[in-house]
Amino acid sequence: MLRINKDSRLPLYYQLSDAIAEKIESGEWGAHTKLPSERELCDIYGVSRATVRQAMQELEINGYIYKVQGKGTFVNPKKIKQDLLKFYSFTEEMKKLGKTPSSSVIDFSVVKCNEKVAKKMRLKPGDPVYQFTRLRLADNEPMMLETTYIPCHRFPGITREMLEARPLYDILTEEHKARLTMAEEIFTPVLVRKNEAELLQYMAQSPGMMIERLTYEEDAIIEYTKGIARGDKFEYRVVLK
């Protein structure tokens, strides 16, 4: 166990935060383990209640812990590390991690695309597109909320039932012989809004990541997705060579 050095120039809360983070990263305190109370941490590390509270705040901001009103403070599950070096799908990435992926279709309709979506997808305003919103889950835990637009003329016959039964990319590539040649993604840090937080089972105004994806078939854009990922569940990595 890391000791708190009161003669160090490092702030006590910073040392305490590091000590607890080490226990979590080493696996000594696993996912959903309840942490000792503030008073117990004061006794264990010989620090004040104010120091413990500041350390807890630091750990919560950095995604190590979460609080449950009236029950205590618990260890967050490890973030899913997503490499951004190649084309990927949520379903396949979750399977690689040994998790069971699933999707709940919140909304599905055929609409005339507005100017914003038309511009994104190089369509004409008013062109028909499928618009659907899916809650993406791993081991039944909400991870992302996505709204997707697909051009109807390229992919006729898509139904809500299809999306509930199969991954989208399987439908596009197997049923319609689409060739997914490239995807472009834009990441923007955001605060999760109340309606999004309710679906994601997450605190409103907590950190999240907005991800906009454009998927190409040669020069044609065949998918535009705008999603919100929970900030405590994902870690994205890019390797520069």
Confidence category of residue 157, pLDDT binned at 50, 70, 90: very high
Please, is 10 exposed, middle or buried when counting C-beta atoms within 10 Å of its C-beta (0-12, 13-18, 19+)?
exposed
The pLDDT of residue 36 is above 60:
yes
Q: What kind of fold does domain 12-75 have according to CATH?
A: Arc Repressor Mutant, subunit A (1.10.10)
Prediction pTM value: 0.68
The pLDDT of residue 82 is above 70:
no
Class of domain 80-237: alpha beta
Segment 64-75 mean pLDDT: 85
pLDDT of residue 155: 97
The domain segmentation of the chain, as residue ranges, is: 12-75, 80-237
pLDDT of residue 96: 73
DSSP code for 34: B
pLDDT of residue 54: 93
DSSP code for 194: H
Could you tell me what percent of the chain has a pLDDT over 90? 51
Q: Strand 141-151 relative to strand 80-83: parallel, antiparallel, unpaired?
A: unpaired
Give ∠ CA 68-17-201 in degrees, rounded to 5.
25
Per-residue pLDDT tens over the stretch 10-31: 889 998 999 898 888 888 888 7
Which of 156, 115, 167, 107 lies closest to 131 in space, CA to CA?
107
Segment 87-92 mean pLDDT: 72
Please, is 135 exposed, middle or buried when counting C-beta atoms within 10 Å of its C-beta (0-12, 13-18, 19+)?
middle
What residues contact 11, with CB distance under 8 A and at least 6 apart? none
CA distance 199 to 190: 16
CA distance 129 to 110: 6
The pLDDT of residue 78 is above 80:
no
Segment 102-118 mean pLDDT: 94
Tell me the helix, strand and coil percentages in the chain, rounded to 5: 30, 35, 35
Per-residue pLDDT tens over the stretch 163-182: 999 989 999 999 999 999 98
pLDDT of residue 110: 97
Span of 67-71, 95-99, 197-201, 236-240 with lowest mean pLDDT: 236-240
C-alpha 122, offset from chain centre: 28
Which of 45, 35, 20, 41 lies closest to 67 in space, CA to CA?
35
The pLDDT of residue 109 is above 80:
yes
Average pLDDT, the chain: 87
In contact, 80 and 234? CB cutoff 8 Å: yes
Token code pair at residue 64: 């190590």
pLDDT of residue 174: 94
Segment 224-237 mean pLDDT: 83
pLDDT of residue 231: 82
CA distance 75 to 25: 10
CA distance 16 to 198: 32
CA distance 236 to 134: 21
Span of 5-14, 105-114, 221-230 with lowest mean pLDDT: 5-14
Tell me the three state secondary structure of residue 104: strand
The pLDDT of residue 239 is above 80:
no
pLDDT of residue 41: 92
